[in-house]
Amino acid sequence: MIVSSDFRTAKLPLNNGSGDMPALGFGTLIPDPAVTISATRDALEAGFRHFDCAERYRNESEVGEALQAGLAAGGIAREDIFVTTKLWNSNHRPERVEPAFEASLNRLRLNYADLYLIHTPYAFQPGDDQDPRDQNGNVIYDKGITLLDTWRAMEALVDHGKCRAIGLSDISLNEVLPIYEAARIKPAVVQVESHPYLPETELLQFCKEKDVVFLAFAPLGHGMKPGLLEDPVISAVATRVGKTTAQVLLAWAVQRGTALLTTPKSAARARENFDISPLPEDAFNEINRIQTRQRLNQVVKTGVPGFIPQRTQT
Ligand SMILES: NC(=O)c1ccc[n+]([C@@H]2O[C@H](COP(=O)([O-])OP(=O)(O)OC[C@H]3O[C@@H](n4cnc5c(N)ncnc54)[C@H](OP(=O)(O)O)[C@@H]3O)[C@@H](O)[C@H]2O)c1
């Protein structure tokens, strides 16, 4: 259920009653530290109030710096923004969850998070190496821990009050179901890749039935060309409604009842991506009928991400 018909300010209620998530989210997976700061400030100024972060992005400090300065400059209260961060694979052991969460909060200069996600369902060898590999270059997984063990530690964070909601990311419906069934505190959000080439219809249906927010990343298909931004159906709709293809793709995501994450890196693109409005019903249905199927990000299959800045955390 969407709380407003103005897509720029539409919100989705969280199932634990802790608040609403703005549907339009700004993602902070940006390799360059200076661009992280400028893009985050630009997004805040354009009107974005939902920020998606992760310890794995190695730029929480820059995001925290930009948010602190941006809130002060804009007279915006902490309560007026929604901030998510994520637990990385090498911190799945229950005793590592709270320290990892506290470290993220410190870097972000926050005293609570609106949402904490398990970044992927894959547990890696516990430790400070985010990408543990054996001598053959293969990822070292941690077989001694289940996702439910980690989920229990996530529930404790909500109990302790510094984290308002918890959820899952890069996960299939088959993996969400057992956690949902066993959870004392149900997942409030599931973050996955989704766009017209990967609609994830079954997972979306499940989320709607259970009041779990479906949060789509790569709504523009990671900006790859050729790709969604040049798709003939999307382009035709864009021409018809007088919007850009990016605006059409973002509007489609909100119109189907999901939240989304987009990562514009300039002020002009931040304003463009924020300025979205409902599509006519026939245009919405035309996009729903696109038959192309493509997954761009393989993280869901291995827990190993693409698009990660290589510098070390400072
Ligand atoms: N859970 C996960 O594992 C996971 C994985 C990936 C991403 N995410 C989250 O999702 C966020 C979104 O990332 P994304 O890559 O999926 O975002 P996206 O918005 O689908 O794609 C970003 C790309 O689109 C381009 N772009 C942005 N606005 C545009 C516009 N108006 N017109 C044309 N091109 C435009 C950008 O180009 P420029 O660079 O030239 O601006 C960039 O290359 C990330 O920041 C992260 O927070 C999560």
Q: How far apart are CA 206 and CA 20, in angstroms?
A: 19
- Say if residues 92 and 144 touch (Cβ distance below 8 Å): no
The residue ranges of DSSP E strands in the chain, in sequence order, are: 11-13, 20-22, 24-27, 50-52, 82-87, 115-118, 166-169, 189-193, 213-217, 259-262
Instruction: Give the predicted TM-score (pTM) of the model.
Output: 0.96
Q: How far is the CA of 7 from the centre of ligand 1 (A)?
A: 19
| Whole-angstrom distance, CA of residue 268 vs CA of residue 162 | 35
Q: With a cut of 50, which residues of the chain have pLDDT below it?
A: 308-314
- Over residues 197-215, the pLDDT tens digits come to 999 999 999 999 999 999 9
Which numbered atom of ligand 1 lies nearest the CA of 222?
21
Ligand 1 center from residue 217 Cα (angstroms)? 8
Instruction: Give the pLDDT of residue 106.
Output: 98
Q: Does the beta carbon of 299 lie inside 6 Å of ligand 1? A: yes
Note the pLDDT of residue 311. Answer: 36
> Does ligand 1 lie within 6 Å of residue 153's CB atom?
no
Name the residue at shortest CA distance from atom 10 of ligand 1: 217
As annotated, the active-site residues are 57
Span from the CA of 308 to the centroid of ligand 1 (angstroms): 12
Residues 90/128, Cβ–Cβ less than 8 Å: yes
Per-residue pLDDT, 77: 98
Rounded Cα distance between 67 and 109, Å, is 9
Average pLDDT score over the chain: 95
Residue 222 and residue 297 in contact, taking contact as beta carbons nearer than 8 Å: yes
pLDDT (0 to 100) of residue 305:
83
Predicted pLDDT of residue 11: 98
Token couple for 18: 């802790």
> Nearest Cα to 220, choosing from 276, 304, 176, 168?
276
- How confident is the model at residue 306, as a pLDDT? 64
